[in-house]
Chain A
Amino acid sequence: MKRLALIASLALVGCAQPGPKPLYQWAVYQNSVYQYLKSNGAEPGAQIAALEAQIEKNKVAGEANPPGMQAHLALLYAKTGDDVAAQRLLEAERAQFPESSAYVNFLLKNAKKDAGKAAASAPAEAASQSKT
């Protein structure tokens, strides 16, 4: 009977124990993606600051950025027109997660193409924007 009680209490302890240590630090990232999707990418500036601060914190604490975090930040930078920062962060995502190589390469190739196109069509775009 005593032994049974012991086993029962062990089982309870088993339940109450926290799970294994998470692989990644999840602060900021998911919420930032949710804000982005909800608002269709409006106002990336505040999100950029929050993500940069968290990435710096993770570095100091020795915690891993979750999959997609640096790529998401790259997207936000691209929205503000900072293509240099966007490219740097896409490359950082690819370095941390080689599984992303095919997609990151696809995005970098397209960005180059778009940059050429944007330069060619920039005057027209500016004209159409000034009308609205």
Chain B
Amino acid sequence: MKALTQRLVRCASVVAGIGALLVLQGCATPPKPYDYTAYKEAKPASILVLPPINGTPEVQATPSVMVQMTQPLAESGYYVLPVSLVDETLKSNGMHTADDAQQIPVTKLREIFGADAGLYVKVTRYGSVYKVVNSETAVTLEAKLVDLRSGALLWEGSASASSAEQANNNQGGLIGLLVKAVVDQIISASTDRSHPMAAIASQRLLAAGRPNGLLFGPRSPSYGKP
């Protein structure tokens, strides 16, 4: 009888342990996986980056972010239309603000630029906040990838980068140290702190293969892989 109780107790503690593990795992599980059905069907090969809408008081946000989008998209395997020429074409057609440009019907964009998809970005945070002890430089971006042939939404996401990460990332191990090193490097090398921060935010937003991120494009060796 005593042996049975002992066994029961042990069994219960094992069950409790498993339960606790499951709960912990529940915490670590990433958010619901993104539904890529439309994206996979559309198979976009080229992306038109529209001038990002600036939701911040920093006038530099639109050109700065627009420039930083090309590299992560191209390295993910997409052809990215030349942003300086696109900007010029839009302006010479009377589209002087990012809000104007993002209002253009997709059929018109497709007709002029021939891109398969358009990237619509909004900058919600850009710049430095100076505090007593230190300052924080942060950039936050929201993006939608829209099929210019059908108008369908293919993907959406958001990302941030902040100089405060180095302070918060002490227990972040190797990755934390790497982020700190990159941030230190760019800050010491540049007086324009927000522009490199926009590069990190753009990488996080647009480099393919991240959880719920963009899929690889046709020019990447990883094209078609999950």
Contact = CB atoms under 8 A, between A and B. Distances in A.
B82 A34 contact: no
B60 A38 contact: yes
Interface string B58-81: 001001101110110011011111
Nearest to B83: A33
In the complex, the 7 A-B pairs of residues with the closest C-beta atoms, listed nearest first: A102-B114, A68-B82, A37-B63, A99-B79, A71-B82, A99-B46, A34-B67
A80 interface: no
Q: Is the interface of B mostly helix, strand, loop or mixed?
A: helix
A20 interface: yes
Contacts of B75: 22-24
Given A15-B175, A20-B221, A101-B114, A30 B68 contact: yes
A50 interface: no
A16 B181 CA distance: 13
Interface centre among B77, B175, B219 (most CB of A within 10 A): B219
Interface stretch (B20-28, B84-92, B155-163): B84-92
A66 B195 CA distance: 20
10 contacts: A33-B67, A33-B70, A33-B84, A68-B70, A72-B84, A75-B85, A93-B82, A100-B114, A101-B114, A106-B113
Interface centre among B83, B84, B220 (most CB of A within 10 A): B84
A93 to B, nearest CB: 7
A24 B71 CA distance: 9
A97 B189 CA distance: 33
B174 A67 contact: no
Contacts of A20: 221
Interface string B162-193: 00000000000011000000000000000000
Interface string A73-93: 011000000000000000001
B112 interface: yes
